[in-house]
Amino acid sequence: MASLQNHILISMPHMQDPFFASSVVFICEHSKDGAMGLVINKRFQQPDLMDLFEQLYVGEDNLLEAIPEIYFGGPVLLERGIVLHAGSFESEGTIKVSDDFAITSQKQILSELRKTDNIPYKLMLGHAGWGSRQLEREIENGDWLLQSTTSDFVFNMPEDQMWKQAAGSLGMDLGHSPGIGGHA
């Protein structure tokens, strides 16, 4: 299977895992050794997770005021923040995923992005990870659909519409929902 990097995974309706049910996952890295992705459509809303964020990321500046949303990136290393951002922006430690996307886990990226206009980004706590051929087996088993994506979809589509929009654009009928259609 060719690299899945820079694509999204769309969980199938039968997937009931609380971490991945109705999830859209952006694949940041994929090789023969495994894969790493970020759930891009689930926002943190639990107070205890906000407390964790404050402990890890608030220094002299109150960064929570500058970050409108914090996302659950996946169940692996929840204490680690990863910023998914436009590929046009680079900082110390930036890893280029494609021309459109990059990830950075250095703490200063949030302050840098706060000072820069028009660079879309999402702050994730945690990530999703798969061992060698694990993700390929899950796709073969019918747990995930694979689709190319755009920065407009990743950064501008409201997270509560992402899963239905992405699945609907592949022809999946998830019941009546306004806005289904087009490309993710």
Q: Where are the domains of the chain?
A: 7-80+127-169
Token pair listed for 134: 């694990």
What per-residue confidence (pLDDT) applies to 177? 38
Count of beta carbons in the 10 Å neighbourhood of residue 159: 15
Mark 61-81 as b/e (b = at least 16 C-beta within 10 Å): eebeeebeebbbbbeeebeeb
When the candidates are 3.40.309.10, 3.40.1740.10, 3.20.20.70, 3.30.470.20, the CATH number that belongs to 7-80+127-169 is: 3.40.1740.10
What is the DSSP annotation of the chain? ----TTEEEEE-TT---TTTTT-EEEEEEEETTEEEEEE-S-B---HHHHHHHHHHH-SSS-HHHH-S-EEE--SEEEEEEEEEEETT---TT-EE-SSSEEEE--TTHHHHHHTSTT--EEEEEEEEEE-TTHHHHHHHTTSEEEEE--HHHHHHS-HHHHHHHHHHHTT---SS-TT--S--
Cα–Cα distance list, 92 to 56, 80, 103 (Å): 19, 16, 11
What per-residue confidence (pLDDT) applies to 56? 60
Token pair listed for 76: 């692996």
What per-residue confidence (pLDDT) applies to 30? 96
What per-residue confidence (pLDDT) applies to 178? 40
Going residue by residue through the chain, which has 184 residues, state the pLDDT in tens, using 9 for 90 and above: 688 999 999 999 988 888 899 999 999 999 999 999 999 999 876 555 566 666 665 553 454 555 667 899 998 998 788 999 999 999 989 999 999 999 999 888 888 988 888 899 999 989 999 999 999 999 999 999 999 999 999 999 999 999 999 988 877 665 443 433 333 4
Phi-psi region of 123 (alpha: psi -120 to 50; beta: other; left: phi over 0): beta
